[in-house]
Amino acid sequence: MPELPEVEVVRRGLEKHLVGLHFTEVEVLDSRPLRRHVGGPASFVDQLVGRQVQAAVRRGKFLWLVLDDGAALTAHLGMSGQLLVHSGLEAEHFNHRHLRVRLRLEGSTVLHHVDQRMFGGLAVVDMVPTSDGFPGGCGSQLNAIPVTDTHVARDVLDPYLDKAQVIGRLQASSRAIKTQLLDQGVISGIGNIYADEALWAARIAGARPGSSLSKAKLKLLLQSTGEVMQRALAQGGTSFDALYVNTEGEAGYFARSLEVYGREGQPCSRCGRLLRKEVIGGRSHVRCPNCQRNKQG
């Protein structure tokens, strides 16, 4: 599933190509990705045609387009969702067996929603004020968020994240620190890939309870998470297959720079010990048994 860097890459592409344009036609080829939209396909089309895209916004892994009537077009990429932007002849000739929704905008711009497994989807929803009064997410100064996403915490790259509050929540819990990192209600945008990478960078074993970590160690963990994600962004995110691509259909290259994720049995680049894979709360975790010890200290 795409994590913060991958979704941010997509957001930037949507911002570049769609902001300022109006939807002129919406063609629903498969209604299943619209299962979260109240009213069905006809309502979805009716609420989009004629609307202008004012901003492309992201909070954590969650993405939406702000519309000029105060609503939002939310897009959850799920496991395999793609938002591809084409124009001109390329748009007219685009064909994909997993194409679900075609959204035409002014000029010759077309947004194609492609999804193989369809765990994600699209929906037009109302927006509500943010609980803290700050902007809803990256890409807009509007202090509003889709009503369906109010449960999503701020992410580590959000300038309005209250890091002291997050550290307090992490330290107050006896849950494994990796489990807490994956909790989108505590801090959003982090999945298996970047949790493992950040924990390795901070020299913390994912199984350690948050309550066993000092405030200084947790501050380092948040810092390491942000740094890892910034490096991933610079390389277009992490692609292991053709399912994650940006709006131009290009893959990211951060997989070449991963230190631990997917590298169990290989030597740690820091100390040379073989990396070990374990399971925490039903999720896999790869760590260095030397650099990331399962004991306090």
Please say if 61 is a catalytic residue.
yes
Would you state the structure tokens that stand for residue 195, as one six-digit string? 């949790």
Identify whether 283 is a catalytic site residue: yes
* 120: its two tokens: 């994600």
Catalytic option among 11, 58, 59, 61 = 61
Q: How far apart are CA 202 and CA 41, in angstroms?
A: 47
For the chain, give the secondary structure using H, E and C: CCCHHHHHHHHHHHHHHHCCCEEEEEEECCCHHHCCCCCHHHHHHHHHCCCEEEEEEEECCEEEEEECCCEEEEEECCCCEEEEEEEHHHHHCCCCCCEEEEEEECCCEEEEEEECCCCCEEEEEEEEECCCCCCCEECECCCEEEHHHCCCCCECCCCCCCHHHHHHHHHHCCCEHHHHHCCCCCCECCCHHHHHHHHHHCCCCCCCEHHHCCHHHHHHHHHHHHHHHHHHHHCCCECCCCCCCCCCCCCCEHHHHCCCCCCCCCECCCCCCECEEEEECCEEEEECCCCCCCCCC
Residue 274, CA distances (Å) to 41, 204, 208 in order: 52, 16, 20
Single out the catalytic residue among 3, 6, 8, 259: 3
Of the residues 12, 277, 283, 293, only one is catalytic, namely 283
Check 2, 5, 33, 135 and give the catalytic one: 2
Largest CA distance in the chain: 61
C-beta of residue 163 within 8 angstroms of C-beta of residue 219: yes
Tokens of 181: 């990192």
- Write out the catalytic residue numbers: 2-3, 61, 283
